[in-house]
Structure 1
């Protein structure tokens, strides 16, 4: 009896097309590693282990690794191939940037399946998240740099040789979060739910020749006679602009009766911003560079089509243009998926952390570590909960955000003066990869609870003070917290007292 992959290969050959093989099981996660879409990695995980399935468009070997720096040095590497119908997976470690990765003394990878299908090599294997092996790297919820490579031929002997690895020009690195509980459409959408879409995009916007520019684009949402729920947000990044579109926020405009400048642009936060934009200040969606699609949980969605729901929004796009190019014309944005099949809860989002300020957010130069704190105090959070009749909130996802100096970001949860397990943390923060993270289990915020956002900065490459601000070269310390049931609280932040700060530095304030 033909196995599914053998039958699939026959069908592909019969159609005279090079087909992508099916996966051997349903995987909640996947990422295409290279621009040519040669290497794709699929994975599932549980509390103790992770299962990978590599699909490489080659009849040679394929390899992935977890690297502290993005190079082979000190990386935890797994390389596999199928030769003469026999599949092999090897556990290896990198010793230098471009050197040969020898096999580990202890092999902590378990081969599950391997095959060659219509020009693809497929290797499926499992390993523990924590192996207690000094030659391996623990797999955590932090951002990791996944290195990858492939060769066009199988090893000549029983193992890859130095030449196989050294000569492989097909290689690269990609930042990902392996242990993000969020999954694919198949996992996150309720069965039978109806979906509609609309796009919020910049309209051929000519990005100024400036290092940093914030564009605000005013958009009218589709008319809805009845209540709907927003259930998924997908980035639409114009090809070639992946490193220019740093982050996008969507703001709810509350004074819709006086809005006339639909589809118009304005410089965000400028003194001459038109009145039409002034009421657009409550964030409903946040996306940042490197992030993928964001799904709401099956039992919650952001409400649309109600009397108090947004009819107009502002798409804020932070353009990063370090080369000061004058020829960037961009139509990037976000695609909204919404449904008339209402879910149980209305969800909201609040911005938590340190107020963006150049007066009270001061980071010294040449510091290996410097901590910045922002508080969502129990008075701020609790008073809004009490006012809106909410005894508790359920947090389900968090986006952590800082700029170039950020190294470790943590959102803490405090109750009655006692620190509970953190809500979100990334000990290997990557400015170019900012993914919204689902919590492994929803967390309850009660009246009287508070949140503390902590950013650990490294300024060893700076010779001058870094201030808080909007520019990429300035800093922020923020998180965007997704929760339900929805409240009107959009910001819960703090900043240092300016007079106390000046007093600390011995500066007299003349009134």
Structure 2
């Protein structure tokens, strides 16, 4: 029967500044200023503290499989406020690392991955499944898979991985085009219709993807301020509508035969009532692209349309989000926290276009409105 032993290592940043013998037969990845043998012939630790950057680089070697290892970093050796990473190695030599969500109410974490290179010709994924640990699903607000711009140059040995605000310049070319999205209450499995799929491998131009995780520790209070966007909802309102308009210029490059919309995912936060988007053609409202008349934050499905809907060149779209703030005494701003608000409506279509990603409403410096088409 395998042993499961938790080893919690607290690094006392004030007093540790020494090196002692280590027993690992494997050389560390790089040079470190400090090292110590934590357990004879079993566990060795190397680390370097960069005071200027306020960073600790460390490497831990553990002898044995089927152990669960916890490494904690604490200023005083206690558990309160400690940063912990947990990992283990199965007897099959498969390695697992568990990310510890920071102790703030909102965390956006991004990590870029290289697409599989084992396919000599382009293949098409016909379905995908989200794998979220049921024990931690209450912390996950959403998961977005982005395609990186094909012109982006990345170092495969140092792909960006960290808090989005801290690596914003490194991930800016991987933050525009959604490949897929999962949000609270959504289905784990998503299947494409028979005639559609997601390209991968071969000469397919997308070589890198980014997974962005929004973790929500809503039970924690935080002093982080929200920065108002184009969306501001007053308090004590039974119904308050926010309208967004995407003009015909955005769809001018759609093929004459049209694009086929097959999935719809509305997304707002806790004050929502409904979300809908209508197609406007020749100055007349034609039909709903999707109407989430009874929107529920806890059940955000990526809805597969019963029949695909056509978008043609020159079409424009109008989106409306309606909010109820009867339970609030303060203004609700548009921002990233769950307690703030958003008004998003995401759609999946085919055939794929390289210049048809998003249409966004933002405030400009003169408090006017800009319509932006993202490449």
Provide the TM-score with structure 1 as the length reference.
Answer: 0.49
Cross-structure match for 2:366: 499
Question: Deviation of residue 498 (structure 1)?
Answer: 5.3
2:163 alignment partner, one of 257, 267, 273: 267
**d(CA) in 2 for partners of 1:405 and 1:261?**
43
Question: Deviation of residue 235 (structure 1)?
Answer: 1.5
Which consecutive residues of structure 1, in runs of 5 or more, have no partner in the other structure?
1-201, 326-355, 503-511
**d(CA) in 2 for partners of 1:458 and 1:259?**
47
**d(CA) in 1 for partners of 2:319 and 2:348?**
15
Q: Does 1:457 align with 2:326?
A: no
Cross-structure match for 1:296: 192
**d(CA) in 1 for partners of 2:260 and 2:232?**
33
Cross-structure match for 2:34: none
Q: Does 1:225 align with 2:127?
A: no
**d(CA) in 1 for partners of 2:365 and 2:296?**
30
Cross-structure match for 2:134: 239
Where 1:499 maps in the other structure, the secondary structure is: coil
Question: Deviation of residue 493 (structure 1)?
Answer: 2.1
Question: Deviation of residue 258 (structure 1)?
Answer: 2.4
Question: Deviation of residue 500 (structure 1)?
Answer: 4.6
Pick closer, same or farther for the CA change 1:391–1:203 going to 2, 3 Å.
farther
Question: Deviation of residue 319 (structure 1)?
Answer: 0.6
Q: Does 1:360 align with 2:230?
A: yes
Where 2:249 maps in the other structure, the secondary structure is: helix
Which consecutive residues of structure 2, in runs of 5 or more, have no partner in the other structure?
1-95, 370-375
Cross-structure match for 1:258: 154
Cross-structure match for 1:208: 102
Question: 1:267-346 counterparts in 2 under 5 A?
Answer: 267-268=163-164, 270=165, 272-273=166-167, 275-281=169-175, 282-292=177-187, 293-324=189-220
Provide the TM-score with structure 2 as the length reference.
Answer: 0.66
Q: Does 1:381 align with 2:259?
A: no
Pick closer, same or farther for the CA change 1:261–1:318 going to 2, 3 Å.
farther
Pick closer, same or farther for the CA change 1:264–1:447 going to 2, 3 Å.
closer
Question: 1:399-418 counterparts in 2 under 5 A?
Answer: 399-418=265-284
**d(CA) in 2 for partners of 1:360 and 1:372?**
10
**d(CA) in 2 for partners of 1:239 and 1:311?**
30
Q: How many residues align?
A: 265
Question: Deviation of residue 264 (structure 1)?
Answer: 5.0
1:434 alignment partner, one of 291, 300, 310: 300
Aligned CA RMSD, in angstroms, stands at 2.3
**d(CA) in 1 for partners of 2:97 and 2:308?**
38
Question: 1:22-61 counterparts in 2 under 5 A?
Answer: none
**Per-residue CA shift, 1:226-252, capped at 9, x if unaligned?**
101121121111122122111111111
1:481 alignment partner, one of 323, 347, 354: 347
